[in-house]
Amino acid sequence: MVTENPVVLDEALASFEALWSPRIVGRVNDYDVRVAKVEGEHVWHVHDDTDEFFLVLDGELRIDLRGPDRAVVLVKGAVFTVPRGTFHKPSSAHGARILMFEPSGTLTVGDRHEEVPAHVDATTGHVLGS
């Protein structure tokens, strides 16, 4: 999904309301560039074979990590990469808008995860506008 026109992230994020349901706004080689609106808690999960990159566009995102147990808090403009094989659980108390880089086809709930609650979309990303 390479487009000939620029994607304005604010417009892309305004085009949908669903939380924890990323939209693909571009591709870089074999990676999706995804944006999402988040609030509340995601699910503990792990990506066995890939890192996961987060950039906070607005709001604040907390990522709890296991092994060793710790939490990172990302404010607007902050980036963090969760290393492959690390169980993690993103959350946002007051809501955030985020951008992620993941290999195309990567499931949002990882390769292993706890039970997926109804408010979390287990997807490989939706095409923008769908």
Q: What is the pLDDT of residue 30?
A: 95
CATH assignment at residue 71: 2.60.120.10
Is 14 in a helix, a strand, or coil?
A: helix
Q: Which residues constitute the domain of residue 32?
A: 9-127
Q: Name the percent of the chain lying above pLDDT 90.
A: 86
Distance between CA atoms of 48 and 87, rounded to whole angstroms? 9
1 assigned to some structural domain: no
**How many structural domains is the chain composed of?**
1
Burial call 113-129: b when 16+ CB within 10 Å, e when fewer: beeeeeebbebebbebe
What are the tens digits of pLDDT across the range 41-79?
Answer: 999 999 999 999 999 999 999 999 998 899 999 999 999
Mean pLDDT value of segment 16-38? 96
What are the tens digits of pLDDT across the range 91-102?
Answer: 999 999 999 999
117 assigned to some structural domain: yes
2 assigned to some structural domain: no
CA distances from 20 to 23, 28, 37, 85, 95 (A): 10, 22, 6, 21, 11
Strand partners, 79: 55
The answer on pLDDT for 1 being more than 90 is: no
pLDDT band at 114 (very low <50, low <70, confident <90, very high): confident
4 assigned to some structural domain: no
Span of 59-63, 79-83, 122-126 with lowest mean pLDDT: 122-126
Q: What is the pLDDT of residue 62?
A: 98
Q: Name the percent of the chain lying above pLDDT 70.
A: 97
Q: What is the pLDDT of residue 3?
A: 65
Distance between CA atoms of 42 and 99, rounded to whole angstroms? 15
Q: What is the pLDDT of residue 2?
A: 56
